[in-house]
Amino acid sequence: MLVPLLGLAIGFLLLTFSLLVYKGVTIVQRYTFLGKFENNVLFIWGNISISLAAMLGIAGYWNVFQGDDLRLGRIVLFLVGIIATSWSILETLDINHPLKKFAVAEKIKKIGVLNIIGYILSGAAVLTLISIFGIAFFDYNYGGDAFMYHIPFAARIWGIIPPEQYTFEYFTENRFLGFPLLANWLQGLFWVVFNRIEATNLVSYFSLIILIVYLVKVPKIPFYLASLSLLAVPMIHMHAARSYIDLPGNVGVSICILTLYLLYIHKVKLNLKTISILFLSAFVAANIKLQLIPVVFLLILCSLPLFVINYWQTDKTRQANMLKLAQVFALGTLASLIIFYNPIKNIVLYQNPAYPVKITIVGQVLNHTEESPNFMHEKIRRLPPPVRWGQSLLEINAFDDRRPWRWTLAMDFISWNEERFGMGGYFGGYVIFNAVLFVFLCWKNWQKSTKVALALMLIMSVVTMWMPQSYELRYYMYWMIVFVSLNAYLVTRFAEHSPSPKTILKPQYFGLVAFVFMIIFIHKTNKFFTYPAFQPLTQQLETADWMVKKEIFSQIKDGDRVCIVEKAPFSFFYNSYFHPGRNYSVRAEFNLEDERMKDKCEGLKILR
């Protein structure tokens, strides 16, 4: 207790002394050196930071904050305080003083403080992206959907692991037949090109890079802001180096939405380049995730007025315009057939556009093998979808100490029917910050760009909150991607047209806030999703007995035909591809209670 109290006393005395010096009270004026710090902003803020670092020790004693978080915060405050105070002292020295050469005020003034902040943030963004690339290329996943069907699908598509060597579970096999597979095809491509399974992570990583390049090149958002504003979102940061497919699909939707926004505010033209961006982004989204197909369909409907306005020319006859529009819509129909290849294929083969998921149209239940996803805790089920979605956005009752980190890829590590499963992932504080910033931008700069942005956010929110399982935010990441990107765009344009140094609406300041949120995320997740561990799958399989159980694997002999039961999502790693020198075949099943699954394992050695 003595040390925290001593820190509180020292901090209070330093704070009082600093305020007296800053105000230039009479007693301070007696000392010429101290008088130089009157109204010196760097001096007062530096000493306030040091004072807070000292006084906050008492908060740790009273357990107001978690120990690690408080320690990090105090270290940062102390370092910032020392740098600011030292800088202020250097600036007060005489021109002939030997230490004066270290003063950098004039150099900084020449370059510009905002430019320096931008350079620093750009460096931080580059280093973070390089570090995440290290995870994507050298490390592997820790389970979930990637193990259960994304990577197995990639292996099947490219013939890396044929069905004779490993056969999917009954439900997984039907998902392979009906789900969009573009992301899995790309994962298999990277696997083949680099001859390492870890490279499947690169699909998500490069989707983030493509999004950042788009934001820099098309809406002209500074690189540091485009990068950090996205990396501050836990769900985006985590998925950027893993073999889940949520991020690539949502990047496609986000680029499509943002391009339509820029078209509606007349910042880009409807030319071949823009149409290509719209087509490719819609194609990617619709052929990666089933849940995004309805969203892509709505976006195509939203694009129709733009084509009519663009191709209806007042200097031509009505007949000529109708002929031109007929040609445009014929090409649009062809493009739509390509974009919606997967649901069209499912209708032809399985009489259900969402096969294998159950859907009902006009009271008619279509062909399916699994129910629509509807697993949730009873308390969550009783809430209206908009309330569920809002609660998840703000991360109300979202965290669980049983998770290894505050945030996880699917907000899982607990049973799927528990109240906190799937809840959160956008960083509630960051969502609130962006909401406040967006409202402030609309109030401060009420013009076409903000009016259309407001309409877009309202429509997008209404659509998203009513989507199936909308509270599982990873499925609909486009909402947060578009939200922060709109804010970044509006702040950047406002700063360009209102260059006053006094305004707080600067992309550099937004970047700083995003950087702080990103650092908090990195700290809360113990750097797991940011710094590579250089642990390939082979090492993981050797050290993690929970992935391939030794007591089960020891029962498999060469030439065996085995059925691995109830080992999802790790069933895939029992197949002989991951155990060189062995030769046997594996079939996986979730359980044998369902007769459809039980029949599949007849005649096989059943291991569970």
Number of domains in the chain: 3
Element (H, E) at 123: helix 113-138
- Supply the pLDDT for residue 30: 67
Segments of the chain with pLDDT less than 70: 1, 26-35, 60-69, 94-95, 97-113, 142-143, 314-315, 501-502, 594-598
The DSSP secondary-structure symbol of 166 reads E
Cα–Cα dist 423/508, whole Å: 31
Residues 135 and 223 in one domain: yes
For residue 398, being part of any structural domain is answered with no
Residues 146 and 248 in one domain: yes
Residues 92 and 168 in one domain: no
Residues 6+ apart with CB under 8 A from 363: none
Amino acid identity of 600? Answer: K
| DSSP per-residue letters across 422-461 | T---S-HHHHHHHHHHHHHHHHHS-SHHHHHHHHHHHHHH
* Domain endpoint, select from 89, 111, 133: 111
Cα–Cα dist 184/190, whole Å: 10
For residue 425, being part of any structural domain is answered with no
Residues 196 and 91 in one domain: no
For residue 464, being part of any structural domain is answered with no
Residues 318 and 349 in one domain: yes
Phi, psi of 606 (to 5 degrees): -90, 125
For residue 446, being part of any structural domain is answered with no
CB 428 within 8 A of CB 163: no
Three-state secondary structure readout of 198-235: HHHHHHHHHHHHHHHHHHHHCCCCCHHHHHHHHHCCHH
The DSSP secondary-structure symbol of 56 reads T
Residue with tokens 């309202």: 458
Residues 60 and 34 in one domain: yes
Cα–Cα dist 587/357, whole Å: 22
Amino acid identity of 92? Answer: T
Cis peptide, bond prior to residue 384, ω within 30 of zero? no
Distances from the Cα of 95 to the Cα of 2, 99, 342, 536, angstroms = 44, 9, 73, 57
CB 373 within 8 A of CB 367: no
For residue 499, being part of any structural domain is answered with no
Q: Is the dihedral of CA 385, 388, 389, 390 positive or negative?
A: positive
For residue 84, being part of any structural domain is answered with yes
Distances from the Cα of 55 to the Cα of 13, 196, 278, angstroms = 10, 52, 55
Kind of pairing between the strands at 166-167 and 585-589: parallel
Three-state secondary structure readout of 512-571: HHHHHHHHHHHHHCCCCCCCCCCCCHHHHHHHCCCCCCHHHHCCCCCCCEEEEECCCCCH
481 burial (CB, 10 Å; 0-12 / 13-18 / 19+) is buried
Residues 240 and 136 in one domain: yes
* Domain endpoint, select from 79, 111, 143: 111
- Supply the pLDDT for residue 18: 81
Cα–Cα dist 36/92, whole Å: 6
Residues 163 and 55 in one domain: no
CB 368 within 8 A of CB 356: yes
CB 171 within 8 A of CB 355: no
Cα–Cα dist 293/467, whole Å: 11
CB 89 within 8 A of CB 104: no
Three-state secondary structure readout of 351-377: CCCCCCECCEECCEECCCCECCCCCCC
Residues 158 and 307 in one domain: yes
For residue 414, being part of any structural domain is answered with no
- Supply the pLDDT for residue 356: 94
* Domain endpoint, select from 330, 365, 400: 365
193 burial (CB, 10 Å; 0-12 / 13-18 / 19+) is exposed
CB neighbour burial string for 505-523, b if at least 16 within 10 angstroms, e if fewer: bbbbbbbbbbbebbbbbbe
Cα–Cα dist 508/516, whole Å: 12
**Angle 438-442-448 (CA atoms, 0-180°, nearest 5)?**
120
344 burial (CB, 10 Å; 0-12 / 13-18 / 19+) is middle
Reported pTM: 0.87
Residues 188 and 281 in one domain: yes
Residues 79 and 180 in one domain: no
For residue 405, being part of any structural domain is answered with no
Phi, psi of 485 (to 5 degrees): -70, -40
Residues 59 and 177 in one domain: no
Two tokens, residue 32? 């010429």
Two tokens, residue 414? 């607990």
- Supply the pLDDT for residue 596: 67
Cα–Cα dist 57/284, whole Å: 52
- How many residues make up the chain in this entry? 608
Q: Which domain holds residue 225?
A: 122-365
Kind of pairing between the strands at 360-361 and 585-589: unpaired
